[in-house]
Amino acid sequence: MSTQTTGPFAEGKARFDPAEAVEDPFQAGPSEAPGAAEGHVYTVTGQDWDTIADDQAERGDERIVVNMGPQHPSTHGVLRLILEMEGESVTEARCGIGYLHTGIEKNMEFRSWTQGVTFCTRMDYLSPFSQETSYCLGVERLLDIEDQVPERASVIRVMMLELNRISSHLVCLATGGMEIGALTVMTIGFREREMVLDVFETITGLRMNHAYIRPGGVAQDLPKGGLDKVRDLVAWMRKHLPEYAAFCNENPIFKGRLVGVGELDLAGCLALGVTGPPLRATGYDWDLRKKQPYCGYETYDFDVQTWDTADAYGRFRIRVNEMWESLKIIEQCVERLERTEGQPVMVADNKIAWPAQLAVGSDGMGNSNEHIRHIMGQSMEALIHHFKLVTEGFRVPPGQAYVPVESPRGELGAHVVSDGGTRPFRAHFRDPSFSNLQAMPALCEGSMVSDVVVAVASLDPVMGGVDR
């Protein structure tokens, strides 16, 4: 049997012909034999600094190698940057990652489908609800229950996602401001974020690592007074978000540090898989909430925010504008939740639904006696079924699904694979921080070392999501 081949790998051509390739400034050229390339390439493997320093000393040229991180106040967590510089100009830059690897994806293979939420919520610790939602949407697609998820549960998901978008963007603006000396931006950013976390604690019981969004719905309905706290938060945000524009938008020092720094055009973003605010800063309105809606986003009124400068300043302005759009969505969610008061927040199939209406004991901990009496008093079969559902879990039909969502940092997708058992055969996440971080050399090479801090901050990477 023979196959016909056309193009640069056609018969008679032993290797790739660059002349036939489409010119792409972001595509690497054909590989060469080891040692054939000019110059010295430093590999980043961890615990390698002595070797790098010795090699650089032997060269005896004017180029210096700087190890920035992994413990550094301006690298957004345990991110290591290897910078080759001539003077203060960066000639080459590489990322060293893996210092926060936790084995989350592998651990999920040894837990039930519902327990997997407890793991994936801990990856990108600034946007836990995006990971929970993406994973649960994938499980629901495998179960073929996407149309059975109650409306109230989907509205709660959207509200929590948008609250989370605001809190994540606030951290980005606060830490980015701190790294360039704008300490007031840092203090007010964390001031607002604390209020969002208070709402999270009211609704889910936790400030982070919530495991609130479950396959089939959410863990429990909104508590008494929950919507009032959300309304108060929206009113506070509408009053205080203008402060960020007043401090930064036209501040000449702020613009001097951000305008024209970390530029990456649309072609570069597409070639490197960059999504989120860095992509929309090129003017391309790619937002999965509009392009590939989920959780009913197509029924909400909001605008996709873009900018046209493709630099760090444009990414800052997009995040500020997106917080205003999130407030619009949250207000619409509050109206819908008022209308659906008392409706279920978990699928009706008791073979899938974990108990979603738990009653807390009088001490604020555990389950109330009435709730336990309700479970115990139904029937022996009901008690056995409840025990098996919680300890063993439900079975998911064989197959695989990939469902992406628009996290605060870009496209976050969960690829879940089932072999028909009660645990994921494989769970893998497409984390936007990991993909966006590939653009770091393109943003930094040729700039000053001080601009590296701004460029990395404008990508807003979270290393928990990068390393997983």
Task: Note the pLDDT of residue 401.
Answer: 92
Task: Note the pLDDT of residue 37.
Answer: 45
Among residues 402, 403, 196, 164, which one has the least CA distance to residue 295? 403
Instruction: Report residue 163 CA to chain centroid gap.
Output: 14
Among residues 31, 138, 184, 202, which one has the least CA distance to residue 430? 138
Strand bridging mode 217-218 / 399-407: unpaired
Report the C-alpha gap between 49 and 92 in whole angstroms. Answer: 17
Domain residue ranges in the chain:
104-352+394-467
Report the C-alpha gap between 210 and 228 in whole angstroms. Answer: 21
Three-class DSSP category at 49: helix
| 10-residue mean pLDDT series, the chain (468 residues) | 39 45 54 49 64 70 76 75 84 84 89 88 89 92 89 91 92 85 84 91 87 88 87 91 83 83 88 90 90 90 89 89 92 90 83 66 64 69 75 87 91 91 90 89 85 87 86
Task: Note the pLDDT of residue 34.
Answer: 44
Q: Show the tokens assigned to 328.
A: 């619009």
Strand partners, 430: 413
Candidates 3.40.50.2300, 3.40.462.40, 1.10.645.10, 3.40.50.2000; correct CATH number of 104-352+394-467? 1.10.645.10
